[in-house]
Structure 1
């Protein structure tokens, strides 16, 4: 079935070529008769000619066919012109040579058929090799698609890692901002503590000055009391009360300062603990960032390997395409080599 289809396809191609070469209808039908009989070993008929050419009226192929048979019979006969030979001997010799010519043409057709068969086998083998190359090319294309898919996945993984790295960077920036804010709060509390210490020192100095002044006044009063003990006893009692009041106020101020100092130290300890926690979180985020950077570098190496493999597969696919074109060229040369000489091998009348 495949051989008949190939032969039919080649016959139609040859007829199309004859259409371009012979524009006259009778010439075209005559050449198609020669093509069918001498090249393809087919006996031409009027219906077959009209089906192949489809030009002119129905009588055109019949006329061309009759002319073809007349020319063939005329050229197949061999006349022997010699004055000394009898007519019967001339006729017998001519018939013998015609028979030899027919046998030679039959042998030539058989040889041509054998050669065409061998050429068809070579063409089929070339087609099989071409099919194998195309199968390898399809397999390489599938492999390339798999590599391309892996490459796309690696790109998606790199994009995801990049997004995660950006998110971790934002978290890191937020944590650093919180650390800076905590340090600022700590500095503010330290300043408040220093201010409280200064205020306490100033107030303590005032109380000491007041106590010293009261003591001096008490001593003066005591001196005066020694001189005027009765008159100044009431005044001494009053001064003693004032001194007790001043001392009680100094004690209350010292106690209040100790309470405020303890509260500030508690706040400072909480801030230090919070700073420690923030620094721990910052270290964890930094370690996670370093891990993501390592994974990103590994993904980039994987991407480079996949790109190199894709380039190698493209090169192999190009080599297979060149081999397929070479097989097609060899098949075309085989088809051209089996074309018989169409018109140049016609017998010459002697």
Structure 2
């Protein structure tokens, strides 16, 4: 029995004693005895508690001390004779107890060494058993492989025998077919030999025909060569005048090309002259326009001066100021007429809408000032001064009158 089995047996004994009503202290003492004497283990609190499954941390050490006390009491040797003193008897008992404990230790060491040796022997035996099993398995595998190879060899042998039988049968069949083929080939050879003789006869006739054709071809070639020679001579005779004419045409073409080049050059020069003339014409046209504008401006100034020659500018300015102030009546304006029209300047804005730019129109020597935005009109007047006066007099009272200035 191993250590675990011994411990389980001790637990079973303790369980049986517990079922019989044995006290806890007796259970602990029995566990200490079994541990110390049977297992060679020094009793400890954990070991005793593990076996008995009862007792507290203070009771179990007391039980262990009681166990050792009993061991010491039992180990003492009591001598009945009274010649040995009491102290010597106790000392002798202690020495015997120590000797007993030392013997137990030596026995335990010997037991452990023997156990280790036995375990080593068991391990070696197990290893030998495993090696033997391995060798046996290898031998079994080798036997199985040998049997498999033998079976495969037998199968191969049977297959080869079957193939040999088939090959023999097939060889006989092929031999018969070969003989039949040989006879057929002999017949075909005879037929081909006969056909070859016929072909040779035909080839001899064809060879004669080819020789005759060669002679005919030679004659035809000589005849055609003579005809070609005559045709070439005739062509040369006809081509010579054409070549002369071609040379003359080439010279004429060269002359024409030189003329075309001269004409192109002259055309380019003419285009350059036209471009220069056009440039001068554009410049003169621009100068003409500038001079025309200057002439128009001068004409306007002359006409203005002519209109202003009939009245003094101071008087005209006075009349314009009177018109702006609205101090001249229609009869007075009719009496003045167009004498001061040259000094009248049109208003720049309509006095009614203050946005439109009035426009002056003249119909049958009568003048009218009209706003294109609001259609505010002065009506037809006998003069520009009258038209301006009417145009300014028809605005709103809140609108500021437009001032007239003299030129």
Same fold by TM-score greater than 0.5: no
- TM-score between the two structures when normalised by the length of structure 2: 0.34
Work out which structure has the larger RCO, using CA pairs closer than 8 Å and 6 or more positions apart in sequence: 1
The structure carrying a bigger helix percent of its residues is: 1
- TM-score between the two structures when normalised by the length of structure 1: 0.39
